[in-house]
Structure 1
Amino acid sequence: MQRRTFVHRSTLAAFTAIAAASTLLAAPVAAQGTWPTGKAISYMVPFAAGGTTDTLARLIGQQLGTALGTTVVVENKGGAAGSIGSEAAARSAPDGYTLLGGTVSSHAINISLYPKLGYDPIKSFSPVTLIGTNPVVLVVAANSPHKTIKDVLAAARGKEGGLSSASAGTGSSQHLAVELLGYKSGVKFTHVPYKGSGPAIQDVISGQVDMMFDTTVVASPHIQSGKLRAIAVTSPKRLASMPDVPTVAESGVAELKDFQVQSWQAIFVPAGTPTPVVTRLHDEIRKILAQPDMQKRLTGFGMEPADLSVAQISAFQKAEVDKWAQVIKAANIKVD
């Protein structure tokens, strides 16, 4: 999944310096050392209050406001898997006073699901920070006969329609994970969408549905209680919290050697925001995220903290957009 181009920090620093110098005269007032002016910064969350994106915005926003000497106000504007709030942020002035909490849904998947999306996840924004990633884990009921990825694929091949796989809804990361598994392996699965992870995972526990990809945050308690068996995680390497659970790439199936699915959280600003402002935001947020207590909070959310340069985030995001576009097209996934 992470087919990204890495840029050496010295190269990035040189580029930033050149960009800052070349835009100094033409850039808005915000780029000339007077930003922020004391005006409140809006941190837009394109999801309802209480979720991971919202919680991260409040944790980061409070400390960012202190670091910048101004106020950061969190605004929730949910709907359409993050599309409504993201469109509003894209239309905001590129002056450094609007931040957006973006995710794999709003900034990688939606562009291929919604035919009339009101923004482009790449062209309409500039990335600031990749906060962290959250892999998903393939689980089956504790009494399921399947113990490995090879078991799952063999069983799916031998069952008409393939094994059933639950998800939190059509177009969710859980749904796209099983579509990617089928796309790469050439094996058919039957997707069973639910309205949320809660009822979906309960039907996996009871055996009404064969399997499910879900976030480690949701699945871990059921794995620890012995109600679910973890088959494989979708991260590039094994998780510290599940050291005995192999990655999908470790399955020994050649077609899955580069299989990765990760939900992620990031911060964006509207395209055209002055480079010095983006750099300052990146540096300040990076300091906040590096704090031990913040790292502990991230891992508590089941996230793997990230530390990428702005250039690396851009490459990572583009690879994500391209990958999910292929999967959605191949699976003919439609959202009304």
Structure 2
Amino acid sequence: MKIRWLLAAVSITVLAAPANTMAQAYPAKPIRYVLPFAAGSAVDVFARFYGQKMSENWKQQVVVDNRTGANGIIGTELAARSAPDGYTLYLGNIATLAINPNLYRKLPFDVVRDFAPISLAATITNCLVVHPSLPVRSVKELVAFAKARPGQLDYASGGVGSAQHLPMEMLKAMTGMNVVHIVYKGLTPAFNDVLAGQVPMMISGLVTALPHHRTGRLRILATAGAQRTNAAPELPTIAESGVPGYDFNSWTGFLAPTGTPADIISRLNAEVVRITRLPETSERLSAVGFDLVGSSPAEFGAHIKANIARIGKVVREANIQAE
């Protein structure tokens, strides 16, 4: 009996040894970040900063692999189909992880099934911005102004299902105002037309709109998150401006293919949190619009699921379909 017990114990130890050794040795070779966004974008800057800090700490090269196309679907599929060994990571955002699953009926992956969350790294504050020619100075005044002129007020976005389109559709649903969507081919031309007064309003990233707000070329009525942002604490939120429960900031986070060993996920999470807490991280990334988070894997997983459900409700009620 003792001999059988010893043999069983030895067998378990031998089987467990490779996994333990792998986790202890990680990373033993370069790591690749698949990024479904263009080089030079804000999220690209974010990814490269974190990659640099990981590389410095782990003495291994971290390579950012920009795989753009099809609204992020190409890069996301590549990451989902990669080996779950900890050497391919993925930096996704609200568009690739929560909007696309609601806009496209058939995706070649399932973001909940095919990815293991590592950490919600940061949120990106959105804001409701109007041209100064519009005679409103608060969300309540805007809603009243729009309701008195149903269908006569336009808003701009960078595309159907974009991070400017869906927050405004949620605002419409929660306030009952009837404003018309003007679709542009990208965020930049949409923002430029609001800046020029061709279209009176839009939802914009705070980092883009804030300099123009401070010079008087645009007017920010409120920010779109649940709490005020440290970048401009004087600005109220939409929720505290007469639309309780409104919350539609953008966000970004790190994931790995499902099946990546739990010990490696834990180590990656610890590294992301470590970098998030560095003073240099706040100095560098807050300036380009990121509010740092550094969540646990479980918290990020719950965040993704909640956003898929919340955005799905907006998409269904507004009958939004991918073009």
Is TM (by shorter chain) over 0.5? yes
Structure 1 contact 178–189 (Cα < 8 Å) conserved: no
Alignment of 1:151-300 (within 5 A): 151-252=141-242, 256-300=243-287
**Structure 2 vs 1, CA of residues 224 and 27 (structure 1 numbering), >3 Å: closer, same or farther?**
farther
Contact persistence 1:45–1:101 (CA under 8 A): yes
Which residue number corresponds to residue 82 of structure 1? 72
Query: Deviation of residue 109 (structure 1)?
Result: 0.6
Would you say 1:102 and 2:89 are equivalent positions? no
- How many residues of Structure 1 are paired with residues of Structure 2 in the alignment? 312
Secondary structure of 1:128's counterpart equals strand
Q: Alpha carbons of 1:95 and 1:24: their partners in 2 closer, same or farther (altered >3 Å)?
A: farther
- The equivalent residue for 2:299 is 312
In terms of mean alpha carbon deviation, does 300-309 or 83-92 score higher? Answer: 300-309
Runs of 4+ off more than 4 Å? 22-28
| Equivalent residue in structure 2 for 1:41, among 24, 31, 37 | 31
Question: In terms of Rg, which structure is larger?
Answer: 2
| Preserved CA contact (<8 Å) 2:150 2:179 | no
Amino acid at match of 2:48: R
Residue 39 and residue 153 in structure 1: after superposition, are their counterparts in 2 closer, same or farther (change >3 A)? same
Bigger Cα displacement from structure 2, 204-213 vs 46-55:
204-213
Cα offset, 1:26, TM superposition: 6.2
C-alpha spacing 1:330/1:126, structure 2 compared with 1 (3 Å) = same
Partner of 2:81: 91
Q: Return the offset for 1:47.
A: 1.1
Unaligned 5+ residue runs, structure 2?
Answer: 1-11
Q: What TM-score, normalized to structure 2?
A: 0.91
Distance of 1:204 and 1:69 partners within structure 2: 46
Aligned to 2:125, what secondary structure does the other structure show? strand
SS at match of 1:61: helix
Residues 192-242 of structure 1 deviation map (CA, whole Å, 9 limit, x = unaligned): 111222221222233321211100111112111210111111112222332
Conserved? CA contact 1:31–1:274, under 8 Å? no
Measure the CA separation in 1 of the matches of 2:26 and 2:281. 24
C-alpha contact (below 8 Å) 1:38/1:69 kept by paired residues: no
Query: What is the RMSD computed on CA atoms of the aligned residues?
Result: 2.0
Superimposed CA distance per residue, residues 122-171 of structure 1 (whole angstroms, 9 cap, x where no aligned partner): 11101112111012111111232011111111122222325211111111
Conservation of the 8 A alpha-carbon contact between 2:129 and 2:202: yes
Q: In the alignment, what sits opposite 1:17?
A: none
Residues 1:124 and 2:111 are matched in the alignment: no
Moved more, 101-110 or 201-210: 201-210
Offset of 1:121 from its aligned partner? Answer: 1.5
